[in-house]
């Protein structure tokens, strides 16, 4: 079945540094990928929609200069958390559709647990 | 506005049956998904409904009534490993296939 690979699974960084998270679709091409953030015991919060070859579409309240998204190819999207602060500590998950039909489900990466100290 | 409601938490016994309900009010409807999420892990796909009726897939079944804005996930022969959160998500009319997520139902299975 369709697989989405997300790396790294865990990262600890110091406040003020930047962290890059990669999301790859391994056996299908994804023109659109989604980046989510999940707080403890909360549902997924869509941060942005990543479109191959164009600028990402950010949800209201998400700082585009802080959460840089690059979708350079049909199989890779990256999320860079710039100048990270402790409040950015969270679980970040990417996802992609394996097909273009409305009945093709989202496939999720395994998520990245970010801890900013 | 757009809204998806699910119970926050449910408890059931191993071997029993449990039904998790989801009601939604969204601007347009292209389909409804159910996902399972174990603590600390990403969600995994369970089912998809776009037409009214029951979709059965092994121990899990999902039902949809579009006129009522209602769906349920039915889990049979519960196993301890079914303890997880179950997320209901609706695809609206957005061309980017964005999903509107419920807050999830935490299912606790007791022996």
pLDDT digits (tens, 9 = 90+) for A49-78: 888 888 899 999 999 999 999 988 889 999
Q: By CA distance, what is A45's nearest residue in B?
A: B101
d(CA A61, CA A38): 15
Q: Return the minimum-mean-pLDDT range out of A66-80, B4-18, B58-72, B94-108.
A: B94-108
String of b and e for A18-55 (b: at least 16 CB within 10 Å)? ebebbbbbeebebbbbbbbbbeeeebbbbbbbbbbeee
Taking contacts as CB-CB distances below 8 angstroms, the residues of chain A near B24 are none
CA dihedral of residues B87, A34, A57, A76 (deg, nearest 10):
180
pLDDT digits (tens, 9 = 90+) for A18-35: 999 999 999 888 888 999
Q: What is the nearest CA distance from B42 to chain A, expressed in angstroms? A: 5
- Interface contact A105-B87, CB threshold 8 A: no
Q: Look at residue B19 in the predicted model and tell me its pLDDT.
A: 98
- Interface contact B103-A93, CB threshold 8 A: no
B62: exposed, middle or buried (Cβ count in 10 Å: 0-12, 13-18, 19+): buried
C-beta neighbour count of A76 within 10 angstroms: 17
CA distances from B69 to A1, B25, B106 (A): 30, 7, 21
Identify the residue among B7, B92, B97 best suited for mutation to test binding to A, counting A beta carbons within 10 A and taking the highest. Answer: B97
Q: Look at residue B101 in the predicted model and tell me its pLDDT.
A: 86
**Position with higher pLDDT, A115 vs B2:** A115
Is-contact A106 A97, C-beta < 8 A? yes
Q: Tell me the average pLDDT across B18-30.
A: 92
Tell whether the model's pLDDT for residue B96 goes beyond 60. Answer: no
d(CA A56, CA A33): 10
Q: Tell me the average pLDDT across B11-32.
A: 93
- Interface contact A105-B44, CB threshold 8 A: no
Q: Return the minimum-mean-pLDDT range out of A31-40, A92-101, B15-24.
A: A92-101
User: Considering CB atoms only, which of B45, B91, B104 is closest to A102?
Assistant: B91
Per DSSP, which regions of chain A are E strands? Answer: 4-7, 10-13, 19-25, 32-38, 44-51, 57-58, 67-73, 76-81, 90-97, 106-108, 112-116
Is-contact B104 B86, C-beta < 8 A? yes
C-beta neighbour count of B48 within 10 angstroms: 20
| Tokens encoding A61 | 């309240």
Chains A and B: how many Cβ contacts under 8 Å? 49
Q: By CA distance, what is A106's nearest residue in B?
A: B45
pLDDT digits (tens, 9 = 90+) for A4-18: 999 999 999 999 999
pLDDT digits (tens, 9 = 90+) for A83-100: 999 999 999 999 987 666
Tell whether the model's pLDDT for residue B15 goes beyond 90. Answer: yes
* H/E stretch holding B55: strand B53-57
């Amino acid at each position: 079945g369709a697989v989405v690979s997300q790396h790294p699974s865990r990262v600890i960084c110091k406040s003020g540094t930047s962290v890059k998270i990669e999301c790859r679709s391994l056996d299908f091409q994804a023109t659109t990928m989604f980046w989510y953030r999940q707080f403890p015991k909360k549902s997924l919060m869509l941060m942005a929609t990543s479109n191959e070859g164009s600028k990402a579409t950010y949800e209201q309240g998400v700082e585009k200069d802080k959460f840089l998204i690059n979708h350079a190819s049909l199989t890779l999207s990256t999320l860079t958390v710039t100048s990270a602060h402790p409040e950015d500590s969270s679980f970040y998950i990417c996802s992609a559709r394996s097909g273009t039909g409305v009945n093709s489900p989202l496939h999720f990466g395994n998520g990245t647990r970010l801890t900013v100290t | 506005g757009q809204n998806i409601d699910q119970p926050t938490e449910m408890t059931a016994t191993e071997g029993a049956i449990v039904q998790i309900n989801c009601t939604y009010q969204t601007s347009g409807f292209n389909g409804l998904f159910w996902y399972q999420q174990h603590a600390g892990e990403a969600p995994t796909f369970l089912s998809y409904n776009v037409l009214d009726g029951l979709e059965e897939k092994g121990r899990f079944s999902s039902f949809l009534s579009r006129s009522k804005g209602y769906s349920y996930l039915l889990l049979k022969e519960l196993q301890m490993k079914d303890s997880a959160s179950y997320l209901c998500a609706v695809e609206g009319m957005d061309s980017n296939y964005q999903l509107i997520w419920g807050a999830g139902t935490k299912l606790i299975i007791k022996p």
